């Protein structure tokens, strides 16, 4: 297995030349740092992650988390690495300085998350969920809650979780039955069981802050009757010290396909006296408030697809250069060649590399849009619409590709990829969950056509396609990019037609929109990635004449060209599936499907 090398130059290129970090930082919201400071901190973070976090990845997989009598033990190496992560302060960097944060933009946090996840996805899940909980408490908590809980959550001394799913209520959160009974002093006693709770119990932090969805007495059915409660593992005294253990217990942890080091817990609240919790936000607004955390987590889960694809690509690239097999075309007769010289292996490697470049553009653009909501308040609504549109695309496209690209990395290894000792199979197993949790990718597609596509009558999507047309026109000025430009225009036009069809026919029968939602998501996301890769191609080409890194920028141009000529045409092919309607999907009865 190869060591993880943070792709710092690739990261800096996307930040500077695609999402324009200088522009993000230009607003008063982030006046505490300039881009060079951000890059310097990221370089140091990359060094730390490669040296401290990446080495624990294999033990996380082979040893895993253990549950015994309600207690969860993570691998020993996790505990040592996490302690150093807390000391580093990197987790606090993107949060409010009032509570100990560094005031840096969210795109900075996303880069840290990418590198952490590439290094060890199982360990990275703990701070990932904590950051989502911080975001939810920051937006919806009382001043007292923020002051009491955020400082130690920012450092990572305390971790956070989100508790939605129940045995009888999977993706249908409105069916949950957990109860919250008012005590009379402002607190509530929470009772119920939650499942699939990532890091719901562990030994990395001294306290765990659970955000729990539950129903108050007399609340209406469905999601309108759900409220959010803050339920700590240990109650916190007024002076900030830890008090007695709350009535929260871990019943078991799941035995999983991958991410073995991350405990996925079944939690029981209130089996004895009732777990003490406090309302976060308004009563009945729990689902809306939890979406703050869920949207944060969905972007972070999307980057897991990018991160594991990057890690697997690095390993498959190294293997392709080392593995000697066959004689490549053009080699001396009788000599043996590294498999990297064979055309199909090159196809696998180029597909991985090009999609990784495109995914990084998409994920960072999504994070930068969230930052611009703060840094450019005059146009905040426009930036928020763009961010909202990109969330389901980032989550779904990138996690689907995480599965596809780690599979390609395994394929490069041939039979050795199917052998655990090479290590590449771990990446394939670890990423499989990402298309499932934080809302399955089918739910992301339904969200896209049901909520995001109709924004301003479809004009948010149409305006993005108009911008892609303008980018395609600029692309014609770059030598060798004429085919890419034509394909980009074709993809945008096909996506427009599919957009109009879904808006018209989905209004008549929601199943028509839902039937085309997944192919439409892939179509729209691929087209938007095409526009971002066109921007990367233009920037890379411009730098060729004056750059001391000519080889790097040439590689960026070639990667973009490969995307535009060999990947982008798939977007146009999805038009038929996106506009087919629901007829074929429901033409057979359930019995006939057997």
DSSP character for 189?
Answer: E
How many other CB atoms sit within 10 Å of the CB of residue 324?
Answer: 11
% helix, strand, coil for the chain, step of 5: 60, 10, 25
Q: Which one, of 526, 543, 573, lies nearest residue 354 by Cα?
A: 526
Does 438 qualify as catalytic in the annotation?
yes
At 207 the three-state DSSP class reads: strand
Phi, then psi, of 586 in degrees rounded to 5: -110, 15
Radius of gyration over every alpha carbon of the chain, rounded to an integer in angstroms: 24
Name every residue whose Cβ is closer than 8 Å to that of residue 448 and which is 6 or more positions away in sequence. Answer: 389, 392, 393, 396, 517, 520, 521, 524
Q: Cα separations (Å) of 250 from 32, 120, 192, 263, 338?
A: 42, 24, 12, 10, 50
How far lies 576's CA from each of 210, 229, 346, in Å? 45, 45, 30
What's CA 545's distance to the chain center, in Å? Answer: 35
| Residue 1 CB coordination number (10 Å) | 15
| Residue 290 vs residues 53, 257, 261, 329, 438: alpha-carbon distances, Å | 29, 27, 26, 57, 11
Q: Which residues of 59-84 are buried (b: 16+ CB within 10 A; e: fewer)?
A: bbbebbbebeeeebbbbebbeebbee
Q: Give the H or E element holding residue 232.
A: strand 226-232
Q: Beta-strand (E) ranges in 281-391? A: none
The dihedrals phi and psi of 440, each to the nearest 5 degrees, come to: -55, 160
Cα–Cα distance between 285 and 42 in angstroms, integer? Answer: 37
DSSP 4: P
Rounded Cα gap, residues 205 and 213, in angstroms:
23
| End-to-end Cα separation, the chain, in angstroms | 43
Catalytic residue among 59, 310, 438, 575: 438
Helices (H) and strands (E) in the chain, counts: 20, 12
How far is CA 323 from each of CA 33, 296, 412, rounded to the nearest angstrom?
A: 45, 41, 10
- Closest listed residue to residue 541, CA positions, set 178, 5, 13: 13
Could you tell me which of 166, 139, 142 has the C-alpha nearest to residue 296?
139
- CA within 13 Å, CB half, 267: 36
Give the residue numbers annotated as catalytic, written as ranges. 438
């Amino acid at each position: 297995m190869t060591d993880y090398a943070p792709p710092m130059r690739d990261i800096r290129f996307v930040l500077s030349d695609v999402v324009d970090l200088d522009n993000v930082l230009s607003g008063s919201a982030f006046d505490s740092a300039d881009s060079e400071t951000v890059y310097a901190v990221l370089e140091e973070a990359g060094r730390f992650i490669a040296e401290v976090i990446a080495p624990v990845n294999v033990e996380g997989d082979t040893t895993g988390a253990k549950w015994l009598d309600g207690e969860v033990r993570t691998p020993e190496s996790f505990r040592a690495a996490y302690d150093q992560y807390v000391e580093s302060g990197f987790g606090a960097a993107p949060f409010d300085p009032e509570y100990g944060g560094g005031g840096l933009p969210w795109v900075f946090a996303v880069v840290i998350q990418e590198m952490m996840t590439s290094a060890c996805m199982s360990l990275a899940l703990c701070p990932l969920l904590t950051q989502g909980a911080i975001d939810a408490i920051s937006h919806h908590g009382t001043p007292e809650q923020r002051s009491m809980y955020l400082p130690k959550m920012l450092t990572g001394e305390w971790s956070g979780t989100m508790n939605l799913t129940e045995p009888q209520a999977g993706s249908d959160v409105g069916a949950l039955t957990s109860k919250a009974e008012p005590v009379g002093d402002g607190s509530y006693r929470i009772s119920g069981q939650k499942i699939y709770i990532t890091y719901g119990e562990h030994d990395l932090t001294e306290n765990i802050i659970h955000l729990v969805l539950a129903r108050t007495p007399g609340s209406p059915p469905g999601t309108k009757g759900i409220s959010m409660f803050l339920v700590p593992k240990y109650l916190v005294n007024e002076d900030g010290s830890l008090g007695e253990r709350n009535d929260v217990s871990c019943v078991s942890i799941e035995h999983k396909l991958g991410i073995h080091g991350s405990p996925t817990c079944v939690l029981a609240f209130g089996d004895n006296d009732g777990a003490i919790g406090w309302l976060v936000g308004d009563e009945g607004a729990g689902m809306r408030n939890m979406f703050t955390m869920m949207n944060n987590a969905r972007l972070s889960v999307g980057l897991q697809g990018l991160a594991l694809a990057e890690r697997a690509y690095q390993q498959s690239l190294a293997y392709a250069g080392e593995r000697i097999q066959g004689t490549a075309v053009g080699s001396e007769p009788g000599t043996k060649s590294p498999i990297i010289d064979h055309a199909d292996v090159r196809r696998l490697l180029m597909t991985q590399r090009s999609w990784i470049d495109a995914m990084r553009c998409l994920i960072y653009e999504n994070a930068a849009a969230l930052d611009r909501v703060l840094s450019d308040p005059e146009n905040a609504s426009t930036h928020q619409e763009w961010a909202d549109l990109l969330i389901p695309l980032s989550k779904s496209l990138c996690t689907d590709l995480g599965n596809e690209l780690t599979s390609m990395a395994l394929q490069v290894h041939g039979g050795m990829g199917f052998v655990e000792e090479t290590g590449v199979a771990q990446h394939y197993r670890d990423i499989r969950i990402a298309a499932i949790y934080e809302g399955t990718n089918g739910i992301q597609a339904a969200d896209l056509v049901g909520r995001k596509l109709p924004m301003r009558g479809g004009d948010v999507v149409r305006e993005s396609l108009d911008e892609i047309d303008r980018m395609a026109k600029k692309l014609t000025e770059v030598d060798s990019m004429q085919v890419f430009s034509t394909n980009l225009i074709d993809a945008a036009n096909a996506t427009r037609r599919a957009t109009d069809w879904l808006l018209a026919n989905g209004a008549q029968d929601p199943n028509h929109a839902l039937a085309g939602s997944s192919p439409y998501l892939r179509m729209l996301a691929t087209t938007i990635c095409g526009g971002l890769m066109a921007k990367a191609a233009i920037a890379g080409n411009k730098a060729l004449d004056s750059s001391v890194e000519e080889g790097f920028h040439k590689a960026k141009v070639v990667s973009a060209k490969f995307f535009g000529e060999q990947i982008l045409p798939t977007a146009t092919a999805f038009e038929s599936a996106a506009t087919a309607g629901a007829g074929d999907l429901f033409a057979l009865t359930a019995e006939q499907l057997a």
